A and B are shown apart, each in its own frame.
Chain A
Amino acid sequence: MAEKRCGGMGADDGNRQRSIRYILSFGILFALLLLFLVWNIRVGSVSVSYDEIIRSLLGQEIGETAANILWRIRMPRALAAAILGGALALSGYLLQTFFHNPIAGPFVLGISSGAKLTVALVMVFSLGNAFRASSGMMIIAAFVGAMLSMGFVLLMSRKVQRMSMLIISGVMIGYICSAITDLIVTFANDADIVNLHNWSKGSFSGITWENVAVMTLVVGVVFVIVFFMSKPISAYQMGEAYAQNMGIHIRLFRAALVVLSSILSACITAFAGPVSFVGIAVPHLVKNLFRTSKPILMIPACFLGGGVFCLFCDLIARTLFAPTELSISTVTAVFGAPVVILIMICRQKEKM
């Protein structure tokens, strides 16, 4: 009897501990996001003081150079890093859910590279014909590429049963697309191609407010839809058979996951080029922080975590060897790839 009561209390305590953990984790993520946002805005070849940032935000006059750097360059760039990072992590989370595979992500499955290829094509075409491709056009181009790659991955997933083989075929598609992109970039003979070259390696530089507005709209809408899907996602985590029993229309649901994750990866690729490993590393780290995989928590948490991760990586990319800028993928790979290795080691242990 005494034991039973003890057990009951333990359970309540467990629930409370969990809630505290969730709140604390969200607190940490928000704090980090804010910290890195400010840090990103402040630090660079020209340093802007906190005082100036606050004054500028309040609408007061500061020096013209400082204002320009702040409003024209750093703010849109930092916001883009946060939004696109979040989108990337969320896209990875959706793909992992879809394939029931913790190392699935837009980059390893070749979806980013597919998007990159079509965007490069559109860019080169638009340069050749002397018009500027709008943000919307870029996203659509990227989405087409992402869907093409995704279609190929899906075809492969029917043929190969093993998840590792699926990843390998995704990586191969990625290489093929990248090779073609490089070819296009190399032979596109234009001065503006330097920009394209930077973009094709992945970078948050050169983001405009117009870009930010478009990405906020697209990513925001997708985020809301995904958040409303958290309940079916939780059922889908148990496997298709059980999800079906719960009354989920499996085909519709799977199609939604594919389209939504492709839109997200397309959005990132259109604005920042391919960014590696964020989609795998962030959901994994966030899961470990929260110690749960409940979608209703994971979806916002992955988004925040992705933002933090990309802000952090972009900070390093900009400042480590300033004035030379590293490509964002270089930095995300350094921090992301070890996480992937760690996941694989843990999975192996679990099997034994």
Chain B
Amino acid sequence: MEKKYFYTEAMTVGYQGVPLIHNIKIHISRGEILTMIGPNGAGKSTILKSIARQLNLLGGMVYLDNRDLTKMPGNELAQKMAVVFTERIRSEMMTCEDIVATGRYPYTGKFGILSKADRKVIAEAMEMVHMTELRNQDFMKISDGQRQRVMLARAICQEPEIILLDEPTSYLDVKYKLEFMTILQEMTRTKKLSVIMSLHELDLAERISDRILCVHENYVEKFGPPEEIFVPGYISHLFEMTAGSFEEGSGLVELEAPQGAPEVFVIAGAGTGRSIFRRLQRKGIPFAVGILYENDLDYPTAKALAVKVLSAGPFEAISEEQIKSAKDWMDQCPEVICCRDSFGVWDQANARLSEYAKQCGKLKVYP
């Protein structure tokens, strides 16, 4: 196996000599992103802090660029590794630019005077996170989201080869979340930056990560590319979810499905049903759905929320037997909602169900 840029061997981490997670084995190459996911308190931050040398390793080795990370001189490590932590910093009379400029520390001389070249790097870093207009504002007087971007700019102007981020997107709205991730991705491509971070947004984690580390209650459960992690049912298991569900295919969450005998039968398809399913869920009405193709847009939501989903395989013909079964379920329900206003050539089964509901006098057309 080729030597990776960053890898650990049997790393054991913990606080004050008490091991929390044993035997961690992870690796990334330059330009790759590794994301840690897992429940709160599982030890993601502990791993990050140990890699950043804030905590002493309790066992094993960490290698950066083929060198023992624990033995690297401080200033050299500072030129290779930048960090963005969750801890809030209190500054006094420091502008955002001052904060960003602290990232140049490992490059400046004895007194930390900034050169022209330093100033250029700082300006570029601020431009990159779109905060140039904030440069003269007091760091304490901007929003949490802005602060997070300032901290990223600070890390960028450290010109690291690897960057550690602890839940970097916590305070960011969706726009800045995507922007933040885009910046990281850009830097992995243009500067071969390696990224190790923890994320709570599973959808983002799945999309951006080259590798994912699953930390489950003080042990590492899985490490691999996202397609190996986001397999049906795994996320619910990892987080020991007791209510609602996570759909690994789309990265969507749904709330807990209403239980009991179905009171409404929903004829949906082609994405027309999702909003109805959720509306029924909000009112706590159990419902059945049919007949959906398993590749339909409505299928994941129906699967998560309905008591019963009558489905047919992708692009398969719907059999008489399946229609019969759907009618049986419909008979049990006092009400039928049809979300469709027209049915395609290959969807005559649902047209017939809709007709049947009309005959029974149960049909409500939505909207």
Q: Which of A7, A102, A238 contacts B132, CB < 8 Å?
A: A7
For A100, what are the chain B residues with a Cβ–Cβ distance below 8 Å? 90
Q: B332 within 8 Å of A by Cβ?
A: no
A235 touches B93 (CB 8 A): no
Q: B330 within 8 Å of A by Cβ?
A: no
Q: B53 within 8 Å of A by Cβ?
A: yes
Instruction: Answer whether A230 and B52 are a contact pair too, CB < 8 Å, given A100-B90, A239-B87, A293-B93.
Output: no
Closest to B132 in A: A7
Q: B173 within 8 Å of A by Cβ?
A: no
Q: B21 within 8 Å of A by Cβ?
A: no
User: Which 4 pairs of residues, A with B, have the shortest CB-CB distance?
Assistant: A247-B74, A231-B112, A247-B78, A247-B75
For B54, what are the chain A residues with a Cβ–Cβ distance below 8 Å? 241, 244
Cα distance, A241 to B55, chains bound together (Å): 10
Q: B83 within 8 Å of A by Cβ?
A: yes
Cα distance, A10 to B95, chains bound together (Å): 14
15 more contacts with CB within 8 A, not counting A11-B136, A14-B136, are A14-B135, A231-B105, A234-B112, A245-B78, A245-B81, A245-B83, A246-B102, A246-B105, A247-B74, A247-B106, A249-B74, A290-B93, A292-B94, A293-B93, A294-B98
B53 touches A244 (CB 8 A): yes
By a beta-carbon cutoff of 8 Å, the part of chain B in contact with chain A is: 49, 52-54, 73-78, 81-83, 85, 87, 89-94, 98-99, 102, 105-106, 108, 110-113, 132-133, 135-136, 140
Instruction: Answer whether A238 and B89 are a contact pair too, CB < 8 Å, given A7-B132, A14-B136.
Output: yes
For B136, what are the chain A residues with a Cβ–Cβ distance below 8 Å? 10-11, 14
A350 touches B93 (CB 8 A): no
For B93, what are the chain A residues with a Cβ–Cβ distance below 8 Å? 287, 290-293
The tally of residues in A whose CB lies under 8 Å from a CB in B reads 30
Q: A319 within 8 Å of B by Cβ?
A: no
For B78, what are the chain A residues with a Cβ–Cβ distance below 8 Å? 245-247
By a beta-carbon cutoff of 8 Å, the part of chain A in contact with chain B is: 7, 10-11, 14, 100, 102, 228, 230-231, 234-235, 237-239, 241-242, 244-249, 287, 290-294, 296, 350
Closest to B77 in A: A247
A246 touches B106 (CB 8 A): yes
For B74, what are the chain A residues with a Cβ–Cβ distance below 8 Å? 246-249
Chain B CB within 10 Å — which of A235, A237, A248 has the most?
A237
- How far in angstroms is the closest Cβ of chain A from B360? 62
Closest to A287 in B: B93
For A102, what are the chain B residues with a Cβ–Cβ distance below 8 Å? 92
B102 touches A231 (CB 8 A): no
Closest to B164 in A: A245
For A294, what are the chain B residues with a Cβ–Cβ distance below 8 Å? 98
Chain B CB within 10 Å — which of A228, A231, A241, A245 has the most?
A245
For A10, what are the chain B residues with a Cβ–Cβ distance below 8 Å? 136
A241 touches B105 (CB 8 A): no
Instruction: Answer whether A7 and B90 are a contact pair too, CB < 8 Å, given A247-B75, A296-B112.
Output: no
- How far in angstroms is the closest Cβ of chain B from A104? 13
Chain B CB within 10 Å — which of A7, A10, A241, A294 has the most?
A241
- How far in angstroms is the closest Cβ of chain A from B152? 13
Chain A CB within 10 Å — which of B52, B82, B112, B113 has the most?
B112
For A287, what are the chain B residues with a Cβ–Cβ distance below 8 Å? 92-93
For A230, what are the chain B residues with a Cβ–Cβ distance below 8 Å? 111-112
Instruction: Answer whether A231 and B108 are a contact pair too, CB < 8 Å, given A245-B78, A292-B93.
Output: yes
Cα distance, A100 to B91, chains bound together (Å): 9
For B132, what are the chain A residues with a Cβ–Cβ distance below 8 Å? 7
